[in-house]
Amino acid sequence: MPDRSSHCVGLSPSIDDRCNILILGSMPGEASLMAQEYYAHPSNRFWPLMAKLLNERDLPNAYTERISMLLRHHVALWDAIHSCDRAGSLDSDIRNAEANDFIKFLDKWKRIHTIGLNGGKAYAIFSKMNRSLFNRPDLRILKLPSTSPANARWRMDALLEAWKDLLFPPPSI
């Protein structure tokens, strides 16, 4: 069977000077790349999850309003992978991944103190390419369960429980 993968290039980060939390996916899926919007697939639970975590009354419909919702709460979005080859949208099909440069990114965006990695592939790529960041005492890095519809075994209530530490860290002991 011939390889039907295509070369994918990720989206630009969604961030402003007030952001202190960074959420990283792996690589946007086909729907997101076509729309040029993070988490554009209607079955992805990212946006409903964030609205609940941020105690927003309603989930905005418009993408620009969704991004504004995150930025109001000092949350940035980007991806662990800059570019890759992939057929379809599954993380398991990602090949030849090139990581984004987080040393340079964090040097520019100095307020970031927490990084949440949305799913196993984001965590695997980020940790492989950014080992030194795990030693920084000023940086908290969390591996979070994926909000992808492919991760159906995680129901919304379990996702909420797992993701709450991103925004509300447990008190120091």
Domain residue ranges in the chain: 23-167
pLDDT at 88: 74
DSSP readout, the chain? -----EEEE-PPPB--TT--EEEEESS--HHHHHHTSTT-STT--HHHHHHHHTT-SS--SSHHHHHHHHHHTTEEEEESEEEEEESSS-GGG-EEEEE--HHHHHHH-TT--EEEEESHHHHHHHHHH-GGGGG-TT-EEEEE---STT-TTS-HHHHHHHHHHHHSPPPP-
pLDDT at 139: 96
pLDDT at 130: 92
Query: In tens digits, what is the pLDDT along the chain, a chain of 173 residues?
Result: 445 678 999 999 999 999 999 999 999 988 899 999 999 999 999 999 999 999 999 999 999 999 999 999 999 999 999 999 888 777 777 889 899 999 999 999 999 999 999 999 999 999 999 999 999 999 999 999 999 888 889 999 999 999 999 988 776 64
CATH superfamily of 23-167: Uracil-DNA glycosylase-like domain (3.40.470.10)
pLDDT at 87: 83
pLDDT at 169: 77
Encode pLDDT of 19-67 as tens digits: 999 999 999 988 899 999 999 999 999 999 999 999 999 999 999 999 9
pLDDT at 94: 81
Catalytic center residues: 44
Name the pTM for this structure: 0.92
pLDDT at 4: 66
pLDDT at 47: 98
